[in-house]
Amino acid sequence: MTLIVILICAYHVMLVGEFFLPTGGTMGIAAVVCFASAIAFAFSYGLTTGVVVTALLFTSTPLVLSAMVKVWPHTPIGRRILNRRPGQLTDVKTPRHTRDGKDIAELVGQAGIAKTDLLPSGLVVVNGQKFDALTSGPPIDAGSTIVVTEVVAGRIHVRLGTESTAMPVGSKVNENEPSSNVALSPPALEQSLESLEDE
């Protein structure tokens, strides 16, 4: 019976460790082995023991996984994978209105700058205000020009801007206007980046 208890404890430790340590799935595999071994040894003691241990494992596993899903984004490895800095998950929230009181839906079509890498989520700056955004295309590097494509459930979606959208931050981008009519303004982007670094 002691061995069964050890296997159950080891299973939960391995399961939690898989979330906190970059083991590449090694601890996950070890957890599965402990899970199966605990059930096998429990049934070797008797049907009642086997049923109790099986019920215990199948009840505790969802609870542990649910807790880890909530905690994992706040761990170092979770922030690294989600491209989050400490405190960003709670300190930076996408407001539903801009500083001047306008609905963020009015940002659609405006150009801005990626404050962090978007892989696919990260921080962008539009009209001098930071927003938590999600790229609707390939990953976007920090410092790149972005264009707000849509706002879904209060979340800003952006795409990588091209030379035709490399205009002063906060300017409206006319998708139907020929690119030759859009004035390029790299100095404006550089000035905006410098002002953000000074914050």
3-state secondary structure of 75: coil
Q: How confident is the model at residue 92 (pLDDT cuts 50, 70, 90)?
A: very low
Enter the tokens of residue 141: 């590097």
Taking residues 94-109, report their average pLDDT: 72
10 Å CB burial of residue 80 (0-12, 13-18, 19+) is exposed
**Secondary-structure percent of the chain, ordered helix, strand, coil, rounded to 5:** 50, 20, 30
Per the CB < 8 A criterion, the answer to whether 16 and 67 are in contact is no
3-state secondary structure of 196: helix
Question: Which is higher by pLDDT, 155 or 9?
Answer: 9
Query: Which residue type sits at 192?
Result: S
Taking residues 127-142, report their average pLDDT: 85
pLDDT digits (tens, 9 = 90+) for 13-29: 888 888 777 777 888 89
From 137, 103, 143, select the one nearest 121 (Cα to Cα): 137
Q: What is the Cα–Cα distance from 36 to 62, expressed in whole angstroms?
A: 16
Taking residues 163-182, report their average pLDDT: 46
Percentage of the chain beyond pLDDT 70 is 68
3-state secondary structure of 150: strand
Taking residues 133-158, report their average pLDDT: 85
* pLDDT of 187 strictly over 60: no
3-state secondary structure of 55: helix
- CATH architecture for the domain at 88-197: Beta Barrel (2.40)
Listed by start position, the domains of the chain span 2-81, 88-197
* pLDDT of 158 strictly over 50: yes
